[in-house]
Amino acid sequence: MSIATSHKPVAQAARAGLLVVLGVWVNSASAVIKCWINQDGVHECGAGVPPEYAQQALEVKNSAGLTLKTLPRAKTTEELAAARATEEIEARKRASESAARQRRTAADKALLQTFNSEEDLMLARDGQLQNLATQVKLTENHVVKLQRSLDLRISKAADFERRGKPLPPDLAQNIESEQKQIALDRNFIATKQAEQTAVKVRFEQEVARFRELRESPTH
């Protein structure tokens, strides 16, 4: 018993010394230094970075000289502003894409709820085209009548000029009025013809989309 007791303080001291050594080793291994390039282009290292080099790119090393990580240089005001602008553009793009998907979903739902078959779509298309064609035909007939009237008035105006007589004010006004109306009617015809083309294109797209939705496993 006395022998064991006499060695106990020695063992405790040895364990304490070992812990101290281990602690020093751990602290040494975990110590880091930072390296930078000074104004003369010289590579410098230290526990702390001088203020004038704090915004530079830095290398973080352990006590053994191994690089743990690299810290990029701080961005300039211009670079930060450009980054914010890019983020805003990307955010608007994502919002626009999200809104487009929502519109597409709503349009698909309306398409399926409105039409039961491709034949229904064709009937709707033909009805719209017929309505536009009727408007074009009526306006064309109106242009023909106006042109006949205008031709007669122009002929009368030419007769007054040949006889050297002044043109009656109402005749001049009627000629101008009919010329303007003919121009308006022709513009209306061109607009309706463009609408006819747009209707054909739109229904071609809707038929293709209708077929795609109906063939989808989710419908």
The predicted-structure confidence for 86-129, as pLDDT tens digits, reads as follows 999 999 999 999 999 999 999 999 999 999 999 999 999 999 99
Most confident of 6-20, 43-57, 145-159: 145-159
| Band of pLDDT at residue 63, cut at 50, 70 and 90 | confident
Q: Where are the beta strands (DSSP E) in the chain?
A: 32-37, 43-46, 58-62, 67-71
As given in the structure block, the two tokens for residue 164 are 């050297």
Q: Are 55 and 76 in contact (CB under 8 A)?
A: no
Residue 188: band (very low, low, confident or very high) from pLDDT cuts 50, 70, 90? very high
Q: Who wins on pLDDT, 189 or 79?
A: 189
Within 8 A by CB and 6+ apart from 214, the residues are: 112
CB distance 125 to 200 below 8 Å: yes
